[in-house]
């Protein structure tokens, strides 16, 4: 979680306390699901871990998963792969319509504007485009890291367990507090 603790009043050159600020996950509108995804790369072990969580307008978790595989991907490639895997997971679970969120603004921009198709990420971006055509409604949004903490926690855990695990209408205990903190009041 990102918190702001102090700011500096340059005229008086003294630090003034400010209240902690947390940008929280925002639920989708009623009748729509939201899939948050993230990826982590462990270059030393040559592993990539992906975390995905799908929630409704009440913040209830309908599905979540961790996926781990041997691949020494760049961070951008891993996060692109997380988007592709999240679309596949949503399609498999039948949780549509769905909004997809991740904390990499560049990848979200590439997906939205179709750019970088001829770059090293082109095949992954093309996969995302092709998979998204199978959805009734699709929207890709950027969120700050502090609003993507559940997916981030799942991706981190994926590297620790080096396995694929899927949960339907539940989630692992280790992200319980993160899910609770994200629930709308």
Quick one: which H or E segment has residue 160? helix 149-161
Answer whether residue 3 is part of any domain.
Answer: no
Domain assignment present for residue 20? The answer is: no
Q: What is the mean pLDDT of residues 124-151?
A: 95
Q: What is the pLDDT of residue 34?
A: 98
Q: What is the percentage of the chain residues whose pLDDT exceeds 70?
A: 88
CB 101 within 8 A of CB 23: no
Higher pLDDT, 116 or 107: 107
Question: What's the pTM?
Answer: 0.86
- Using the Cα atoms of residue 156, residue 162, residue 168 and residue 174 in order, give the sign of their dihedral: negative
State residue 11's pLDDT score: 41
Is 173 inside any structural domain?
yes
pLDDT band at residue 3, thresholds of 50, 70 and 90? very low
7-45: pLDDT as tens digits: 233 344 445 455 455 678 999 999 999 999 999 999 999
CB 89 within 8 A of CB 61: no
Q: What integer pLDDT is reported at residue 10 of this predicted model? A: 38
User: Residue 126's domain is classified under what CATH number?
Assistant: 3.30.420.10
pLDDT for 6: 29
- DSSP helix/strand/coil, 69: strand
In a domain, residue 7? The reply is no
Domain assignment present for residue 17? The answer is no
Contact indicator for 102, 58 with CB cutoff of 8 Å: no
> Do the domain assignments include residue 172?
yes
Residue 22: the pLDDT is 61
Total number of domains in the chain:
1
Instruction: Tell me the C-alpha distance between 69 and 81, whole Å.
Output: 11
Straight-line distance from the first to the last Cα atom of the chain, in angstroms, rounded to the nearest whole number: 18
What gap in Å lies between CA 135 and CA 122, rounded to an integer? 21
| Pairwise pLDDT comparison (122 vs 19), residue with the higher score | 122
Burial of 139 (0-12, 13-18, 19+ CB in 10 A): middle
Residue 120 within any structural domain of the chain: yes
4: pLDDT strictly greater than 70: no
Residue 23: per-residue pLDDT:
76
Is 16 a member of any domain?
A: no
pLDDT of residue 170: 86
6-9 and 14-17 beta bridge pairing? antiparallel
């Amino acid at each position: 979680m990102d918190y702001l603790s102090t700011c500096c009043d340059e005229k008086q050159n003294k630090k003034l306390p400010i209240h902690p600020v947390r940008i929280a996950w925002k639920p989708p509108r009623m009748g729509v699901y939201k899939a948050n995804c993230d990826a982590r790369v462990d270059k030393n072990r040559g592993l990539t871990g992906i975390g995905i969580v799908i929630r409704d307008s009440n913040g209830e978790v309908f599905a979540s998963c961790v996926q781990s595989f041997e691949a020494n991907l760049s961070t951008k490639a891993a996060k692109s792969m997380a988007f592709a895997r999240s679309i596949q997971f949503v399609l498999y679970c039948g949780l549509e319509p769905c909004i997809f969120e991740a904390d990499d603004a560049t990848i979200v921009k590439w997906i939205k504007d179709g750019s970088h198709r001829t770059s090293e990420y082109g095949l992954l971006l093309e996969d995302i485009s092709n998979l998204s055509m199978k959805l009734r409604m699709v929207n890709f949004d950027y969120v700050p890291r502090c609003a993507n903490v559940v997916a981030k926690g799942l991706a981190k855990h994926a590297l620790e367990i080096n396995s694929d695990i899927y949960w339907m209408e539940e989630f692992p205990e280790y992200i319980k507090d993160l899910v609770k903190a994200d629930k709308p009041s």
